[in-house]
Amino acid sequence: MAERSTAAVDVTGDSGGTDGGNKPPTAAVERTTADGSTDHDGDDSATADASGTPDTTDTMTPPPEPSQAPQPPELHSGHKLARRYRLEECITRLDGFSSWRAVDEKLRRAVGVHLLAADHPRARPVLAAARSAALLGDPRFVQVLDAVEENDLVYVVHEWLPDATPLTALLASGPLPTHEAYQLVTQITQAMAAAHREGLAHLRLTPGCVLRTAAGQYRIRGLAVNAALRGIISDHPQRTDTEAIGALLYASLAHRWPYGEDAYGLGGMAELTGDSLVPPDQVRAGVHRGLSELAMRAMVNDGATASRQEQPCTTPEELAKAIAALPRIRPPEPEFTAPPPYQSPGYRQGAYGGPVPRPPAGPAGAPTVTTPAAPPALPGRAGRLLKWGVSALLIAALGLGSWQLADTLLKGGEPPAPDPGQSEIEQQKQPETAPTGRPVEISLAKDFDPFGGDPTENSDQVGNAIDGDAGTFWQSMYYNSAKFGNLKDGVGLVLDLGESRQISTVKVGFRGSTSVDFLAADEDTAQMPGSLNGFSKVSSGSGTEVELRAKKPIRTRYVLVWLTELPLTEEGNYRGRITEVEVLS
């Protein structure tokens, strides 16, 4: 996956050890995460180690540490790494490493940075974990952008997501709705299954590591790197991550942390059930039965007891199959508010705003019905003159129209020649009525991704789509399915024609059969739209050489080539590749 323009870093935490002996006390202090949002108890807080992990040595075991761990490098705001990354704010400083919010001055974007001393015993594992995570390139994970050893420092640079909200903050206001919890466990499970297929594990999957973007997508931060920073290893990594997913689902449904002590701003289970763990639908009313059983099946290795006799899920792959077997949980229907009843306005006689006069009563006491008086007629001579004048105007207009129609038919229906008194510029401004097939110059092309956390899609390659060379191409990011991994509806290129022009056809060349829509902005649009709502669909097609025609010529300045279904590449993933785009008038 190419580099993106945002980044996220991990938050405060203690050692990841889970030896069951020296467990730190529960932390209940609100901290500010590296994503710029408030996170209760942090991502890897002391509480996570105290109550969020089972007390087993075969699940996650930290290697032995030296008697005195190296201190984090003493750096300050304004320090530059590689003459490119300017440190702005220190988010975490503990356990021999520090985490910073920084600015990539070369690409002018916010990033996150983890820093360790080069002689730190975990420096090599952190570099190896970061480089492995960067090779995964899955958009469901916060992307690693750089991993460098420079002089006496080792640092890892990765995405910063300013619009994302950690799961801890979402749960602070209550349990998740059923459909939202279903989306959470579905997306997280599929992402972790893909990571384990590549030999990567998280081992620190806590509510602070799960982020929800403004578009409703869940992304995971700290894949492999969080565990390496804290020296965590596991004999059964797939089981460890599966149990962590079950704990996330349990907390989202029951609004309780499924272990004894409080953690992540949620109350523990010790005060309710002691050492036993009951299904979420027995903790809180209204919990979806299927999701409750799913959480128990994922956590069965943590001492949970499945409420039915299904086999426990010990890997993310097995959990993904169990989710797929559930009946689809649809989002709630939007509430419809009935409009107020229509009230007919009352008609009143007399002066505006004054009292309505009542007719006088008849002999028998009943009201007398009066008819409104007819408007006064015009005086006799003036009325006749007005009638004759109107009649004459109508006859003259009818005669003029008939003469023009006959003159056009006699000339064979040819359009009138341009007025020689008009200037050449005025004649060019007159709209054309039929396609000409002439190429329209494209002033600028820009990548368009309104549904991603990062609105760019390989911006540096956009020029290849309009350079006239079919051997070069612009390509999108890669995804794990033809429908963009169900993360978005599409991506594309916006073509700026410089001014409002008549267009009738857009020709697009692809590498691999691709489905594409031709959209256009309104004629009076002066600025490039930033969302899909700023465009209207004109036509669609699919193939490797697609010709998209409008039913009749339109006038617009901005044209959107919108990819809706991607081909499978020789690399085994899905991405769109545009070799050339041509616009015809």
**Strand 444-448, strand 439-440: pairing:** unpaired
Return the CATH number of 30-158, one of 2.60.40.10, 3.10.20.90, 3.30.200.20, 3.40.50.10490: 3.30.200.20
Structure tokens belonging to residue 111: 């990033």
Q: Are 558 and 535 in contact (CB under 8 A)?
A: yes
Look up residue 391 and give its DSSP letter.
Answer: H
Residue closest to 228 by CA, chosen among 87, 133, 159: 133
**Strand 153-158, strand 144-150: pairing:** antiparallel
Q: Are 33 and 208 in contact (CB under 8 A)?
A: yes
Q: Are 486 and 533 in contact (CB under 8 A)?
A: no
**3-state SS class at 555:** strand
Which amino acid type is present at position 26?
T
Residues in the chain, overall count: 585
Return the CATH number of 165-325, one of 3.60.20.10, 1.10.510.10, 3.40.50.150, 3.65.10.10: 1.10.510.10
Whole-model pTM above 0.75?
no
Q: In angstroms, rounded to a whole number, what is the distance separating the alpha carbons of residues 158 and 7?
A: 5
Q: Are 101 and 7 in contact (CB under 8 A)?
A: no
Range list of H helices, 100-231: 123-136, 167-172, 178-197, 225-229
Residue closest to 323 by CA, chosen among 281, 299, 287, 293: 293
DSSP code string of 332-384: PPPP-PPPPPP-PPPP--SSTTSPPPPPPB-TTSPBPP-PPPPPPPPPHHHHH
- Torsional sign, CA 124, 127, 130, 131: negative
- Torsional sign, CA 135, 138, 141, 143: positive
- Stretch (H or E) spanning 102: strand 97-104
Look up residue 421 and give its DSSP letter.
Answer: T
Angle formed at CA 61 by CA 57 and CA 66, multiple of 5 degrees: 130
Q: Are 284 and 269 in contact (CB under 8 A)?
A: no
Q: In angstroms, rounded to a whole number, what is the distance separating the alpha carbons of residues 566 and 491?
A: 10
Which amino acid type is present at position 499?
E
Which amino acid type is present at position 81?
L
Q: In angstroms, rounded to a whole number, what is the distance separating the alpha carbons of residues 567 and 261?
A: 49
Residue range 439-584, CATH number: 2.60.120.260
- Stretch (H or E) spanning 564: strand 536-565
Strand order, beta sheet including 165-166: 165-166, 210-212, 218-220
**3-state SS class at 381:** helix
Q: In angstroms, rounded to a whole number, what is the distance separating the alpha carbons of residues 411 and 172?
A: 79
Q: Are 584 and 504 in contact (CB under 8 A)?
A: yes
Which amino acid type is present at position 294?
L
Q: Are 584 and 503 in contact (CB under 8 A)?
A: yes
Q: In angstroms, rounded to a whole number, what is the distance separating the alpha carbons of residues 315 and 299?
A: 11
Q: What pLDDT tens digit does each residue of the chain (585 aa) get?
A: 333 333 333 333 333 333 333 333 333 333 334 343 334 333 443 333 433 333 333 445 555 554 455 666 788 899 999 999 999 999 888 878 999 999 999 999 999 999 999 999 999 999 999 999 999 989 999 999 999 999 889 999 999 998 899 999 999 999 999 999 999 999 999 999 999 999 999 999 999 999 999 989 999 999 999 999 999 999 999 999 999 999 999 999 999 999 888 899 999 887 777 667 889 999 999 999 999 999 999 987 655 655 566 789 999 999 999 999 999 898 887 776 767 776 666 545 444 444 555 555 555 544 555 555 555 555 566 667 778 888 888 898 888 888 878 777 776 545 445 444 444 434 444 445 678 888 999 989 999 988 876 778 888 889 889 988 888 999 998 888 888 878 888 999 999 998 999 999 999 999 999 999 999 999 988 889 988 889 999 999 999 999 999 999 999 999 999 999 999 888 888 889 999 999 998
Domain residue limits, the chain:
30-158, 165-325, 439-584
**3-state SS class at 506:** strand
Q: In angstroms, rounded to a whole number, what is the distance separating the alpha carbons of residues 524 and 514?
A: 31
Q: Are 153 and 81 in contact (CB under 8 A)?
A: yes
Rg (CA), the chain: 35
